[in-house]
A and B are shown apart, each in its own frame.
Chain A
Amino acid sequence: MSSSSRRSRSRRAGTSVSSSSSRSISEDQISDLLSKLEALLPDAQARNGAQRGPASRVLQETCSYIRSLHREVDDLSETLAALLASDAVTAEQAAVIRSLLM
């Protein structure tokens, strides 16, 4: 990795402030990514193409969303764990798993 390519990479990442043009490129990049991220959030439909919310809010809502998705996975894991434990499905589970992987 040559030092010049490392420098240009970090400039693109928005860490250099040597010229105003290089700063606006990375700000545009970040702004674009934030818009795309906002479009993934739960109430994206309600926003309906309105101007992108402030960066801090998009970041906060992304964190809450990830947190809630983690919680869902956790709850579902608990449900599945309970289902795996119940005797009623044991024989069927083995058969299903075998069939699915054949």
Chain B
Amino acid sequence: MRGPTAKAFKQGFLRSFLLSLKSCRTGDMSLQERKRAVRSSADAAMATARGGGAIWPRALLASSSSSPSSSSWPGLLLNAAKVKTTRCKSTARRCCRPKRSSSEMIARRLVRKRTKILRGMVPGGELLDSVSLLREAMDYVVHLRAQVAVLRRVSNAMHHMAATSYLTGLDLSRLAQGLLHRVCN
């Protein structure tokens, strides 16, 4: 992700993430429940900030949301992708020619197996052909890294705040601006 795109994503992610956290009533939760709330806020924020240029954001939002209306998108995607995947199965059988060496076949089997694992790791990966899966995986990795980076900076900043919160007369708006600046740059 290049400079301005990365910055825009991180800022969008931070805003969505904090908005989501703010709306959670975390007061009465156990640590595990709060952790789950933070995690799903982070994932939802990452998906929202990414927007419509990839498949994984919609898949991520659909899997975290429990509303029945979110189940409509897999159907739309399935109609487009189903043709490809069924065709893939039938031609794969046809293309296993006997003259291919056994080491090649082992390599192919390994690739197929690991591709399947990758499908499970990328949201929405189950419905994609190999080429789209690789593209999605790249996009997903890049945004996961940005998510980690922002979360780490928020965590560091909040640690810092906790450590200095005993100071009275702290200019909180300046602290907030500093936090935003540190987190997004």
Q: In the complex, what distance in Å separates the CA atom of A6 from the CA atom of B92?
A: 18
**B31 touches which of A16, A55, A85, A88 (Cβ 8 Å):** A85
**B142 and A40 within 8 A (CB):** yes
**A84 and B38 within 8 A (CB):** yes
Q: State the Cβ distance, B12 to closest chain A Cβ, in Å.
A: 13
The 14 sampled A-B contact pairs (Cβ below 8 Å) are A13-B129, A15-B84, A15-B87, A33-B134, A69-B145, A76-B155, A81-B35, A83-B155, A83-B159, A89-B162, A93-B161, A96-B172, A96-B179, A99-B176
Near A by CB (< 8 A), chain B positions 13-48 give 14-15, 18-19, 21-22, 26, 31, 34-39, 42-43
Interface size range of chain A in the complex = 35 or more
**B83 and A62 within 8 A (CB):** no
**B18 and A100 within 8 A (CB):** yes
Q: Which residue in chain B gives the minimum CB-CB distance to A36? A: B138
B91 contacts partner chain A, Cβ-Cβ < 8 Å: yes
Interface size range of chain B in the complex = 35 or more
B69 contacts partner chain A, Cβ-Cβ < 8 Å: no
**A30 and B130 within 8 A (CB):** yes
**B21 and A77 within 8 A (CB):** no
Near B by CB (< 8 A), chain A positions 10-39 give 10, 12-17, 26, 29-30, 33-34, 36-37
Q: In the complex, what distance in Å separates the CA atom of A84 from the CA atom of B91?
A: 54
Set of chain B residues within 8 Å of A62, measured between Cβ atoms: 118, 137, 141
Count: A-B pairs, CB below 8 Å:
171
Set of chain A residues within 8 Å of B118, measured between Cβ atoms: 59, 62-63, 66
Q: In the complex, what distance in Å separates the CA atom of A84 from the CA atom of B152?
A: 14
Near A by CB (< 8 A), chain B positions 138-157 give 138, 140-142, 144-145, 147-148, 151-152, 154-155
Given A73-B148, A84-B34, decide whether A16 and B21 contact each other with a Cβ distance below 8 A. no
